[in-house]
Amino acid sequence: DLAAKSPLKLVSIPAGSFTMGTNTGYDDEKPVHKVTLTKPFYMGATEVTQAQWKAVMGSNPSRFKGDDLPVECVSWNDCVEFCIKLTETETAKGNLPADWEYRLPTEAEWEYCCRTGATTDYCFGDDESRLGEYAWFDENSGKKAHPVGTKRPNAWGLYEIGRAHV
């Protein structure tokens, strides 16, 4: 089982369909359309921690330091490189099938994970006042990083991923 062998805590996400996008907000969230993900996949239960990043990359670029804090101050390319190195390491150890890889989720996979089957703005409903139970953001973070996995998980066991379209 990949989830048991991975250095990241992984959650199995089922295949399925959902309505992606919104008619409110930013133009890049339009138009609303149906998306079907035909294969199940794994998703990290939390953001990558600084300890996990350092174990793979050998350094910690984060401004706010702490092993259980999410890594920050990294680019998309840095994250791709992390995935490549993690894939190489875990394949060499025999923990990852040769035809599998760690990678960043697609936009559709990310939104699907945020929604968890919900048709509301948030995985927990439309009541924005509950967002602080599920996610860190400007109004509740004190403008600093917080340890991963400290908010309520969504229905699929993913942490700090409360908004369906951001």
Element (H, E) at 35: strand 33-37
Rounded average pLDDT over 55-84? 96
Rounded average pLDDT over 34-41? 94
- Contact criterion met (CB below 8 Å) for 151 and 157: no
CA neighbor of 87 nearest in space, from 43, 55, 56, 49: 56
CB-based contacts of 3: which residues, under 8 Å, 6+ apart?
9, 10, 11, 12, 42
pLDDT of residue 100: 94
Encode pLDDT of 101-125 as tens digits: 999 999 899 989 988 888 787 888 8
Rounded average pLDDT over 4-30? 81
Rounded average pLDDT over 32-56? 94
